[in-house]
Amino acid sequence: ARWLSAHCIGRRADLLCWNESATDERGMSMRRWDEELGPIRAPDFPPGLTWLNVRRPLELTDLRGRLVILDFWTYC
């Protein structure tokens, strides 16, 4: 597995690492961290959300196998 780590401040995002031996801020191996947590299932989207640039509400199955980038700040 490869890990992509980014550090975001304001509108600037810096790519910190892209490798198999990445560590988090505590020095814990990201691979070990992932193995300890195991798979985490994302919750389904609640009904009634406002969606942009789509013809119908999205479902998690629409996103399976795709790269998903979350932007928590733009729409606030």
Instruction: List pLDDT tens digits, range 18-62.
Output: 445 555 555 555 555 556 666 667 788 888 888 888 899 988 888
- pLDDT confidence of residue 74: 67
Sign of CA dihedral 8, 25, 43, 40: positive
Rounded CA separation 5/21 (Å): 11
Q: Which residues fall within 8 angstroms of residue 45, CB to CB, at 6 or more apart?
A: 57, 58, 59, 60
pLDDT of residue 16: 45
Q: Both tokens of residue 64?
A: 């399976």
Q: Please work out, in degrees rounded to the nearest 5, the angle formed at the alpha carbon of residue 40 by the alpha carbons of 39 and 42.
A: 140
* Amino acid identity for residue 51 in this structure: W
